[in-house]
Amino acid sequence: MGHMEDVARIAGVSLMTVSRAINSPEKVAGDTRERIEKAIAKTGYVPNLSASSLSSKRSRIVAAIVPTISNSTFAETVRGLSDTLDAEGYQLLLGQTGYDEAKEEALVFALLGRQVDGIVLTGVSHSNALVKRLKSLRIPVVETWDLSESPIDMVAGFSNFDAGGEIGRYLLAKGHRRLGFSGGPGDRTDSRLAGFRGAMKRTRDAHLTIALLPVGTTFRSGREALQILMEKDPALDAIFFANDAVAVGALMECQRLGIRVPQELAIVGFTDLDIAAEIEPGLTTVQVRSRTIGEEAARMLLTRFKGEVVTEPIRDLGFALVKRASA
């Protein structure tokens, strides 16, 4: 292994110069830097970042909290975060909440002890204790996957409410009146439903049937959701699934049951997974920029880390209704 002292001795300089050669090379003369670099290579020296972070109060670690990484859309966000941060020498500490607010709070508190330089949260709804602590700490925080007028600090996402509303208006404009909704747990789902409902208010004869699902966005749960909804209201003529995987499962179940989509039943999903474009009929859905959300969140943090000001702390990355054959 070897410590910094070994490197310093071999290079014939002081500890401090080695430290500088590593952290701000431009402040060290070319030839001394070279000597130090050789000494580092020779000893295989790897800096102890715990010591560094204790001393400097900067860890170069960012904590990312997502509901679950099994949902590929959050995985994409993590990917965007990781790739962007990695390029600047920051690393990612991952936490999963399982859509549990208490778990989120516990997780963040534990990670704060690591002196993380920044935190990325999913959603804009968190426990009071967490919000309070985070605000008082003045540590850079980015909330993602939704928007808020008053974020803890910064936010990068899109309006789930508006997206739900757009889908509602789209289906109503197409003449559908007996609508169904199905989604799993989570505030984002709630917002989409609220927006969907909002769109329906103006239309007197519109009727809504809801089926809430347990955690787990699988094709199979889509089949089940379809069955539940059709049982509750066999006259349903359109369904909005708050998740693409579930929507695709429902689409497959329609094929099996001989329900013609979109003639007998229109189906809309959410997220625009790969498969939405490939399946037959193509799935009408809402495209969201999962990867970009992660990248933007990372960029906002990096800007802060440099001591610069984030000019646009509320970043609306938008969404797009992608019209395909299913609705």
Partner DNA sequence: CTGTTAGCGCGTTCAC
Partner DNA sequence: GTGAACGCGCTAACAG
Nearer to DNA, 76 or 117 (CB): 117
Provide, rounded to whole angstroms, the least separation between the CB of residue 43 and DNA. Answer: 11
Helix, coil or strand: residue 194: helix
148 binds, among its own copies, DNA, none (CB under 5 to 8 A by kind): none
9 Cβ partners below 8 Å, 6+ apart?
A: none
Nearer to its own copies, 154 or 245 (CB): 245
User: What is the rounded distance in angstroms from the CA atom of residue 174 to the CA atom of residue 262?
Assistant: 11
Nearer to its own copies, 38 or 114 (CB): 114
User: What is the rounded distance in angstroms from the CA atom of residue 248 to the CA atom of residue 267?
Assistant: 9
- Contact criterion met (CB below 8 Å) for 92 and 78: yes
Nearer to its own copies, 14 or 50 (CB): 50
323 binds, among DNA, its own copies, none (CB under 5 to 8 A by kind): none
Provide, rounded to whole angstroms, the least separation between the CB of residue 54 and its own copies. Answer: 4
> Which secondary structure element, helix H or strand E, spans residue 107, and what is its range?
helix 101-112
What tokens were used for 206? Answer: 């519109």
User: What is the rounded distance in angstroms from the CA atom of residue 223 to the CA atom of residue 250?
Assistant: 5
Provide, rounded to whole angstroms, the least separation between the CB of residue 151 and its own copies. Answer: 22
How far the first Cα of the chain sits from its last, in Å, is 62
20 binds, among DNA, its own copies, none (CB under 5 to 8 A by kind): DNA
Provide, rounded to whole angstroms, the least separation between the CB of residue 86 and its own copies. Answer: 7
Residues that bind its own copies (CB under 8 A): 1, 44, 46-51, 53-54, 59, 61, 68-70, 72, 75-76, 78-79, 82-83, 86, 89, 91-96, 109-115, 133, 137, 218-220, 245, 248-249, 252, 255, 274-275, 278-280
Residues that bind DNA (CB under 7 A): 3-5, 12-17, 19-20, 22-23, 27-29, 31-33, 47-48, 51-52, 54-56, 58
190 binds, among DNA, its own copies, none (CB under 5 to 8 A by kind): none
Place of tokens 């499962």: 249
Picking from 199, 187, 125, the residue whose alpha carbon sits closest to that of residue 162 is: 199
68 binds, among DNA, its own copies, none (CB under 5 to 8 A by kind): its own copies
- Contact criterion met (CB below 8 Å) for 147 and 314: yes
Q: Tell me, what amino acid is at 5?
A: E
Provide, rounded to whole angstroms, the least separation between the CB of residue 93 and its own copies. Answer: 6
Place of tokens 């549990």: 100
